[in-house]
Amino acid sequence: MALQPSDISSSNPTSLPWSRFAWLTMLATLLLISVGGLVTSRGAGLSVPDWPNSYGYSMYTFPISHWMGGILYEHSHRLLGVLVGVLTTVLAVGLWVRETSGRQRWLGVIVMTGVAGLLGRMGSWQVPIFITLAALAPVAMVWGLARFARDRQALRWLGVVAFAAVILQGTLGGLRVVWLADELGFVHGMLAQGFLVLICFIALLSGGWRNRVAPGSIAAPGLRRAWWLAVVLVVAQLGLGAAMRHRHAGLAVPDFPLAYGRVWPKTDATSLATYNRTRVEATAQRPIQSTDVILHMLHRSNAYLIAAIAAWLTFRTWRDAGRKTPAGRLTTVWLALVGIQIALGALTVWTGKSADIATLHMVTGALTLVVASAAAAAMARMCRVRPAFVEPYRRAGSGSPVWPG
């Protein structure tokens, strides 16, 4: 496909202050995800039955003396959600102001700060507003991504996507409580992972990361595809994990590496009855169903697949891109994370799904996705010019392929 002049922006997306602020936002998001993981691991998701209020109090004035048991985790999660919402708003507005001027600039600032200020009041009367804005958020996210796809220098559009995503995410979390909808918990958990990746990309791109990745330096399109496959497998793995967690059935298979003493456990009614009869749960958990066992085993199987592809990708990436390149370094980190993650998965089983270990497993999973996505993007940039596409440039005497940003 020929390059269009409009594809190439003259603006420079690099801004170290905003990159640092995005990293700060990412750290806050990671903390938010961690506490969210504790909420689910400890079965505390509904310990505060109302939203946006907390036991009738404003979220901001809920007495600390009431932060007991599961409330401690759930209320902390809500407050951290507000913090991430504020940081995301500042980031989105900052990127917008940096890249726009005149009426467009002020219109964007007024809209985003106005919405954030309105929602930030967190009153129960605002629930319809939350729902309306959350319904509009996916449209804004698709629109923002489409605009960014047209101009990869315009990080403000990623800021818009993040701003819409944080509204959607907060609303999903709240509605999961007041609608008693477990399935929203699954979506809430998965969107959190995507949001973390998005903020990471804003931080990387605004930090000039793109300049450090030589475009088209590797003629290995298969490697690029393999990296994206790895990302898909990690997303699937996180999805399986989120589905297991949000079914609230506890640990469906209590042994590892075998499963109920077998390579693949039985899931007939008699076996399930035995599993349920012999486990002694100390918390309120739903009885195990065949779906729980199958999800658990798919999660394990996919982990083995990811481990295999991680080993192969490491070998190929180190060989083709070098260990010292951004992609090579990310690959090293990713391989380590995959190893740690598998160990944490085993520990989760061996500790009977200890809440802290299970949460650490979930958070490491989020980091695995972030690093895999960054590595895949780096490899896509390094590999994406096919020889057949490069040749015309080379023949024309340009020497090296030209790439937009």
Q: Would you tell me which residues interact with other proteins (CB under 8 A)?
A: 42-50, 55-56, 66, 68-71, 74, 177, 180, 269, 272-274, 276-284, 287
Output the DSSP codes for 221-287: HHHHHHHHHHHHHHHHHHHHHHHHHTTT---S---SSSBTTBSS---SHHHHHHHHHH---SS--PP
Min separation Cβ 185 and other proteins, Å = 13
Q: Rounded distance, CA 298 to CA 240, Å?
A: 8
Q: Which is nearer to other proteins, 75 or 224 (CB)?
A: 75
Min separation Cβ 56 and other proteins, Å = 8
Min separation Cβ 190 and other proteins, Å = 22
Min separation Cβ 32 and other proteins, Å = 19
Q: Which is nearer to other proteins, 139 or 180 (CB)?
A: 180
Min separation Cβ 227 and other proteins, Å = 40
Q: Which is nearer to other proteins, 103 or 277 (CB)?
A: 277
Min separation Cβ 76 and other proteins, Å = 14
Q: Rounded distance, CA 320 to CA 315, Å?
A: 9
Q: Rounded distance, CA 49 to CA 57, Å?
A: 12
Cβ atoms within 10 A of the Cβ of 154, count? 21
Between helix 182-206 and helix 156-178 the angle, nearest 10°, is 160
CA distances to 132, 167, 178, 353 from 249, rounded to whole Å, are 33, 29, 21, 11
User: 88 with 26: CB under 8 angstroms?
Assistant: no
Min separation Cβ 208 and other proteins, Å = 46
Q: Which is nearer to other proteins, 87 or 288 (CB)?
A: 288
Min separation Cβ 68 and other proteins, Å = 6
User: 35 with 81: CB under 8 angstroms?
Assistant: no
The SS3 assignment for 322 reads coil
Q: Which is nearer to other proteins, 352 or 401 (CB)?
A: 352
237 closest CA partner among 364, 348, 116, 149: 364
Q: Which is nearer to other proteins, 7 or 281 (CB)?
A: 281
**Strand spans (E) along 88-150:** none
List of residues 6+ apart from 304 with CB closer than 8 A = none
Q: Which is nearer to other proteins, 155 or 293 (CB)?
A: 293
User: 77 with 32: CB under 8 angstroms?
Assistant: yes
Q: Which is nearer to other proteins, 181 or 390 (CB)?
A: 181
